Structure 1
Amino acid sequence: KLIQLLAEFDPKMEEHVRRVINKEEIKATYLGKPIQNEIIELLHDNIKHHIIEHVQKAKASKVEQMTFVVRFVSIQESESEVQVNINEHFLVFLPIERSTAKELSEVLLEEIEKNSFK
């Protein structure tokens, strides 16, 4: 599926996939799972490299922060089916003074209470 997705945006890949699907004479297709996994790994490495490069060049302040993210399950029932969704939402960055367990738990508990999560 990954290769087919890439073929939608690359004419050479599209031609290659078409030839493979139509079983035209090709010695090697490079569409097997090991190759696709290698492509995914290469994409991962490249994206990670770019993210790290951007972080290293960023002019950011040195404020320690913790993210507050909530994850919950919502269930919607109808006569014919039950739909279960897992939801995850970022709420806020919380500034912290120290990265100790005590400080982190105090900030987290304060935010939970402030938002009436119980």
Structure 2
Amino acid sequence: PELSNDTPTPAKRKRGRPRIDKTSPEYLASMAVRKQAKEMAAVMNNRTSSSDAGEKRKRGRPRVDKTSPEYLARKRARELGELRVLSLKLGVYMYYIYSLSEKCFHLFSCLCVE
């Protein structure tokens, strides 16, 4: 049987998004509007500069000047308090180790004595 060329091959279906005519007036107008909106958003975001007095964070607290003597004094006191707590904990641990070593020494001496 011979192949007949009666049936034409179907046209290939395009897949994906259709091509956009980037020279059309609608496309150019929407791009201009988008660009303008982007620039406006950038201007609105940059309006509050970091050098403003009384600048607020997200939750409304003012920013802290980390070079001020008051802040540095509070920081030093906080660190000293943390060191004090650590030294107290270390003392407690050393006491436990000392008491355990005494008990171990006592047990060892009892085992060795016959």
Q: TM-score, length-normalised on structure 2?
A: 0.29
Normalised TM-score (structure 1):
0.28
* Structure with greater Cα Rg: 2
Flag the structure with higher helix content: 2
Using CA pairs under 8 Å that are at least 6 residues apart, name the structure with larger relative contact order, 1 or 2.
Answer: 1
